[in-house]
Amino acid sequence: MEAVTHETVCRLLPFQSADGYFQMAADETMLLSAARGIASFRCYVWSEATVSLGYFQPRAVLNSRLWDLPWVRRATGGKTLVHHHELTYALALPASWVGPRLHDWLTRLHANVLLPALKQLGVRAPLSLAQRPNNVEVMLCFEQWSAGDLLCAGRKIAGSAQRKHHGCLLQHGSLLLAKSAHAPDLLGVQDLAGVEIPPKEAAAAVVDLLLQATNWEIKDSPWAEGERSSIQTLRRNKYECPEWNEKR
C-alpha cells in the first residue's frame, strides 16, 4: 500500500456488536467525520442475522428465505448481503488522503490488509484476477465477484463497497467467516478452509496488517459525543425509516 503523505493519524474505533440500523448509521457518521479531516477505521459484527440491500436494489429482490430477517438499505451500491457469521470493516478517509483513484482502495485493502491477515490466520485467499460474468438475476453479492475480491477454494469470501462524499471515502466490506442457515449456498472460511476464526481474532489481524501496510499512526479512540448523537439521529431519521428502506 502506498505511503500516505498527509496527516497520518487514523482512529481505531471500538469493535462493536449492534443491529443493522446502528451499524449503517455509524458508518455514515464516520464519513461525515472524514469530511472534517478525521480518518477512522473500525471492525464490527451484527447482533442478529440481517439483510442489507444495495442502494439501488428494490426490496422485491428478497426471496422467501430472507423475508423474515431484519433488513436495512445501505448507502453504498452492490447487491444483497446476508450479515451473519462475518466480520465487517469500515474505513473512512478525508479527501486529502484518498487521491484521484478512489476505486484503488478496494484492491489495496484486499491485497495489502485482508489477504495477508487471512494468511496470518492460516487461510489462503488470493485475489480474483477477473470478474465472474455478471448475471442480472443473481441477488446475493457473494454469488458474484469482481477483480480484486478475495476467493477461497474458488468461492468469494470478501468484498467491499464504497461511497464518496465531497471527495471523502467510505469503504466498508465483509469477510465471510462461515455459512449462514439463511444463505446456505454461500460458504465461508470455516467451510472452505476448515479454519474457524472468531470475529475478534480476525479483527485483530486486520488491524495489525493495516498498521503494517501503511505509515499511519493508528490510535484507539472512542466515538466523540457529537458522533454518538449523529449515529442516533441517522438511525432514527434514515436507516429505521420506511421512506429510506423502501424507496425502491
Active-site residues, by number, are 141
Query: How far apart are the two ends of the chain, measured CA to CA in Å?
Result: 37
Would you report the helix, strand and coil content of the chain in percent, each value rounded to 5?
Answer: 35, 25, 40
Gap between the Cα atoms of 56 and 58, Å rounded:
7
200 in Cβ contact with 15 (< 8 Å): yes
**What cell numbers appear for 163 in the block?**
461511497
> Measured at the alpha carbon of residue 173, what is the angle toward residues 123 and 241, in degrees to the nearest 5?
145
Pairing mode, strands 217-220 and 9-12: parallel
Pure H helices in the chain = 20-34, 95-98, 104-109, 115-120, 189-193, 199-213, 225-234, 242-245
Gap between the Cα atoms of 106 and 73, Å rounded:
21
